[in-house]
Amino acid sequence: MTRPGDVLYGSVMSALTDRLAASNHLLFDGAMGTMLQDAGIEPGGAGELWNVENADAVIAIHTGYLEAGADIVTTNTFGGSRPRLDMHGLGERVEELNRAGAEIARRAAEPFGALVAGDIGPSGELLEPMGILTPDDAQALFEEQLRGLVAGGIDLVLIETMSDLDEVAAAVRAAGVVAPELPVLVTLSFDTKLRTMMGVTPAQAVAAIAELGVAGVGANCGRGPGEMEEIMAAMVAVRPEGLLLVAQSNAGLPHLVGDRFLYDADPDTMAQHTIALRDLGIDIIGGCCGSTHAHLDRMHESLISG
């Protein structure tokens, strides 16, 4: 698998593969959005704005994951595309907010020797023919976001919670333009029928996205550990040689307790899930919505204890 910018690309890939060679896994961090809610963000507020207005709170979330054992932390930029920021009147600040998100993740990660993944979620618009966004338009939106992330010092690109393979392709092309030296990981979100909202199966995802030349493919979010294990088993069955597999499950399902939503998979459950994923051969394991520092700490413990 080759790409432009081989020297820098090889350097970061080496950081990934050297760690994998030593332990057979890397640990991603957990949730950001639900952690921001616990930290007091207003319902419906723009989390990316906290990168400049409440950076200490975001750094504390990153640091908690790093202290728990995370090898990779994810920038607070999931909704950092222009359409999503436009909903908050922040569309003109795309590069600023993404750069700030990368800079503070970098500041948290460096003392731990951890890597920083630049987080890109869905653009916020549907592509043709279901929407009006063209593939070129989508690529331009992702390029804009990536310029900020790269300026802030990311080590790799994480394209996550995707459902449309055409949107994935647009994001990967954008990474090839803006950050050809950086590895790209892609995760999709699957429903109870083990398909994305656009009908993509885990096997189809692996086949199509591997062809784009990315470093890794996987799944995130979803309905909890059991379902994630089914999805990843399906991906393992069709994985081409050299492709990393990534899994970041929600900590179960949310339930309203008082005025808060709590997720029903406790740290011990997520630790057992981590071992199940490791035994499947998943290379990079983490958490998604509802996952906390306590979850990640137990996940890390489970991996180092055998």
Tell me the torsion sign for CA atoms 223, 274, 300, 264.
positive
Output the pLDDT for position 168. 98
- Going from the C-alpha of 216 to that of each of 17, 210, 250, the distances in angstroms are 12, 8, 19
Count of residues in the chain: 306
For residue 182, give both structure tokens: 């950086």
What CATH number does domain 6-304 carry, 3.40.50.2300, 3.40.50.1370, 3.40.630.30, 3.20.20.330? Answer: 3.20.20.330
Give the pairing of strands 284-287 and 26-27: parallel
Q: What is the pTM of this model?
A: 0.93
Output the pLDDT for position 249. 98
| 284: DSSP letter | E
Question: What is the mean pLDDT for each group of 10 consecutive residues in the chain (306 residues)?
Answer: 39 70 88 94 94 98 98 98 97 98 98 96 94 96 98 97 98 97 96 93 98 97 95 98 96 83 92 97 97 98 88
Picking from 199, 192, 186, 95, the residue whose alpha carbon sits closest to that of residue 148 is: 95
Domain boundaries, the chain: 6-304
| 211: DSSP letter | T
